[in-house]
Amino acid sequence: MILNTKHFGEIDIDENKIIEFREGLPGFTNLNRFVLIAEPNDHETEELKGLIYWLQSVEDPSIAFVMVNMVKYMPDYNPLIEPEQIQGLGDYDPEKFVFYNIAVIPDEIKEATVNLKAPVVINDEIKQGKQVICTNEEYTVRHYMFK
């Protein structure tokens, strides 16, 4: 399926890889279908492997979110999620559920923040995703990555 995206230009996506977000995302509840695109060239750098992904909207190709896998990048990041939050994502399996954090990247890159409070959880096996809220009080929606 061809998508004319804002960030990658024209790309061909495998429809079997489309992930359904039944409730969309807060602020984008009308967008329910996304694909995960690994940031190109990351496989060349060991430290960056698997850390940065784009959540590209299928319905609105101009919308894509940068996501960082903070569970990998930040050693003690441990979001606690109540079972009710992830009920729609199938039986919980730590091997199949991956957590990503949506990043805000301003022009001054050093000011980049990630949302630690509300990670995006994806069960790649059944292709379902959801942005959930962890119960940890110490995490915020705007965590500076480099400060």
When asked if residue 38 is in the footprint of other proteins (CB under 8 A), the reply is: no
Nearest to 36 by CA among 47, 49, 23, 20: 20
Nearest distance from C-beta of residue 1 to other proteins, angstroms: 22
Interface residue with other proteins, options 9, 15, 16, 45 (CB under 8 A)? 45
Secondary structure (DSSP) of 80-102 = ---GGGGGGG-S--TTTEEEEEE
Interface residue with other proteins, options 66, 81, 98, 122 (CB under 8 A)? 66
When asked if residue 145 is in the footprint of other proteins (CB under 8 A), the reply is: yes
* Residue 54: CB atoms within 10 Å: 19
Nearest to 81 by CA among 22, 114, 123, 18: 123
Residues that bind other proteins (CB under 8 A): 7, 22-23, 25-28, 39, 42, 45, 47-48, 51-52, 63-66, 73, 84-85, 87-88, 102-107, 109-110, 112-113, 115, 117-118, 131, 133, 141-142, 145-146
